[in-house]
A and B are shown apart, each in its own frame.
Chain A
Amino acid sequence: MSALLIKGGRVIDPSQGLDAIADVLIRDGKIESVGTNLNAAEADIFDATGAIVAPGFIDMHVHLREPGIEHAETIETGSKAAAAGGFTTICCMPNTIPVNDSATVTSYIVQRAHQVAKVNIFPIGAITKGSLGEELAAIGSMCEAGIVAISDDGRPVMNARVMRRAMELARALNIPVIDHCEDLNLSAGGDMNEGVESVRLGLGGIPSSSEDVMVARDLLLAEQTGAHFHVAHLSTRRSVAMVAFAKSRLLKVSCEVTPHHFAITDQELGAYDSNFKMKPPLRCHADVDAIIDGIVSGVVDAIATDHAPHAGSDKMQEFERCPFGITGLETALGLSLAELFHTGRITLMRLVELFTTGPANILQLNRGTLKPGVPGDVTVFDLDTEWTFDVQQSASKSRNSPFHGRRFRGGPIATIVGGETVSCRRPYGTENN
Chain B
Amino acid sequence: MPPGLLDIESLTREEIAALLERTRFFQPQPNESYRRLDTLKGKTIVNLFFEASTRTRVSFEIAAKRLGADTLTIAAQGSSVSKGESLVDTLNTLAAMRPNAIVMRHAASGAPHFLARHLHIPIVNAGDGTHEHPTQALLDARTILDRLPTLEGLRVAIIGDIAHSRVARSNVHLLSKFGAEIVLCGPPSLLPRELEQLAPGVRLAYDMTEAIRGAGVVMMLRVQLERQHEAPMAAGEYFRFYGLRLDHLALAQPDAIVMHPGPINRGRELSSEVADSQRSVILNQVENGVAVRMAVLERILSQ
Q: Which residues of A contact B130 (CB under 8 A)?
A: 202-203
| Count of A-B residue pairs with CB < 8 Å | 68
B192 engages A203 (CB within 8 Å): no
The residue among A194, A196, A200, A313 with the most chain B CB atoms within 10 A of its own CB is A200
Query: How far apart sit A271 and B2, CA to CA, in the bound complex (Å)?
Result: 15
A188 engages B129 (CB within 8 Å): no
A317 engages B131 (CB within 8 Å): no
**In the complex, A199 has a CB within 8 A of chain B:** yes
With A272-B109, A272-B113, A319-B109: A199-B86 Cβ-Cβ less than 8 Å = no
With A199-B195, A202-B129, A202-B169: A320-B108 Cβ-Cβ less than 8 Å = yes
Interface bits A252-279 vs B (CB < 8 Å: 1, else 0): 0000000000000000000111100000
Give the bracket for the number of chain B residues in contact with chain A. 20 to 34
Query: How far apart sit A319 and B229, CA to CA, in the bound complex (Å)?
Result: 19
Expressed in whole angstroms, the minimum distance between the Cβ of B22 and any Cβ of chain A is: 27
- Which chain B residues numbered 75 to 126 have a C-beta less than 8 Å away from chain A? 86-88, 106, 108-111, 113-114, 117
A271 engages B108 (CB within 8 Å): no
**In the complex, B198 has a CB within 8 A of chain A:** yes
**In the complex, B247 has a CB within 8 A of chain A:** no
A199 engages B110 (CB within 8 Å): no
The residue among B9, B109, B195 with the most chain A CB atoms within 10 A of its own CB is B109
**In the complex, B128 has a CB within 8 A of chain A:** yes
Expressed in whole angstroms, the minimum distance between the Cβ of A275 and any Cβ of chain B is: 11
Expressed in whole angstroms, the minimum distance between the Cβ of A317 and any Cβ of chain B is: 6
Q: Which residues of A contact B117 (CB under 8 A)?
A: 271, 273
Query: How far apart sit A273 and B229, CA to CA, in the bound complex (Å)?
Result: 25
**In the complex, A406 has a CB within 8 A of chain B:** no
B197 engages A319 (CB within 8 Å): no
Interface bits A195-209 vs B (CB < 8 Å: 1, else 0): 110111111010000
The residue among B86, B106, B166 with the most chain A CB atoms within 10 A of its own CB is B86
- Which chain A residues numbered 58 to 76 have a C-beta less than 8 Å away from chain B? none
**In the complex, B226 has a CB within 8 A of chain A:** no
Q: Which residues of A contact B229 (CB under 8 A)?
A: 188-189
The residue among A188, A194, A272, A273 with the most chain B CB atoms within 10 A of its own CB is A272
B197 engages A196 (CB within 8 Å): yes
Q: Which residues of B contact A320 (CB under 8 A)?
A: 108-110, 129
**In the complex, B32 has a CB within 8 A of chain A:** no
Q: Which residues of B contact A319 (CB under 8 A)?
A: 108-110, 114
A203 engages B110 (CB within 8 Å): yes
- Could you tell me the dominant secondary structure of chain A's interface residues? loop
B194 engages A202 (CB within 8 Å): no
B108 engages A318 (CB within 8 Å): yes
> In the complex, which of the residues B106, B132, B195, B198 contacts A318, with contact meaning CB atoms closer than 8 Å?
B106
Query: How far apart sit A189 and B228, CA to CA, in the bound complex (Å)?
Result: 10
Query: How far apart sit A137 and B108, CA to CA, in the bound complex (Å)?
Result: 37
A196 engages B198 (CB within 8 Å): yes
- Which chain B residues numbered 182 to 206 have a C-beta less than 8 Å away from chain A? 192, 194-195, 197-198
Query: How far apart sit A316 and B131, CA to CA, in the bound complex (Å)?
Result: 20
Interface bits A29-42 vs B (CB < 8 Å: 1, else 0): 00000000000000
Report the nearest A residue to B131, measured CB to CB. A202
Q: Which residues of B contact A205 (CB under 8 A)?
A: 192
- Which chain B residues numbered 16 to 73 have a C-beta less than 8 Å away from chain A? none
Expressed in whole angstroms, the minimum distance between the Cβ of A46 and any Cβ of chain B is: 44
Expressed in whole angstroms, the minimum distance between the Cβ of A417 and any Cβ of chain B is: 39
Q: Which residues of A contact B113 (CB under 8 A)?
A: 271-272
Report the nearest A residue to B166, measured CB to CB. A202
A203 engages B88 (CB within 8 Å): no
Query: How far apart sit A29 and B169, CA to CA, in the bound complex (Å)?
Result: 62
**In the complex, A407 has a CB within 8 A of chain B:** no
- Which chain A residues numbered 175 to 215 have a C-beta less than 8 Å away from chain B? 188-189, 194-196, 198-203, 205
A318 engages B194 (CB within 8 Å): no
Query: How far apart sit A274 and B9, CA to CA, in the bound complex (Å)?
Result: 21
**In the complex, A321 has a CB within 8 A of chain B:** yes
Report the nearest A residue to B130, measured CB to CB. A202
Q: Which residues of A contact B88 (CB under 8 A)?
A: 316-317
Report the nearest A residue to B10, measured CB to CB. A270
B87 engages A317 (CB within 8 Å): yes
> In the complex, which of the residues A189, A199, A313, A317 contacts B192, with contact meaning CB atoms closer than 8 Å?
A199
Report the nearest A residue to B132, measured CB to CB. A202
The residue among A201, A205, A319 with the most chain B CB atoms within 10 A of its own CB is A201
Q: Which residues of A contact B108 (CB under 8 A)?
A: 318-321
Q: Which residues of B contact A274 (CB under 8 A)?
A: 114
The residue among A199, A271, A317, A319 with the most chain B CB atoms within 10 A of its own CB is A199
B198 engages A272 (CB within 8 Å): no
- Which chain A residues numbered 277 to 330 have a C-beta less than 8 Å away from chain B? 313, 316-321
Q: Which residues of A contact B192 (CB under 8 A)?
A: 194, 199, 205
Expressed in whole angstroms, the minimum distance between the Cβ of A241 and any Cβ of chain B is: 22
With A196-B197, A319-B114: A202-B109 Cβ-Cβ less than 8 Å = yes
Query: How far apart sit A112 and B9, CA to CA, in the bound complex (Å)?
Result: 52
Query: How far apart sit A178 and B110, CA to CA, in the bound complex (Å)?
Result: 34
What are the 8 closest A-B residue pairs judged by CB atoms, nearest first? A272-B110, A202-B131, A318-B108, A202-B109, A202-B130, A199-B194, A196-B194, A196-B197
Q: 6 A-B residue contacts at CB 8 Å?
A: A198-B194, A201-B109, A202-B129, A203-B129, A272-B111, A319-B110
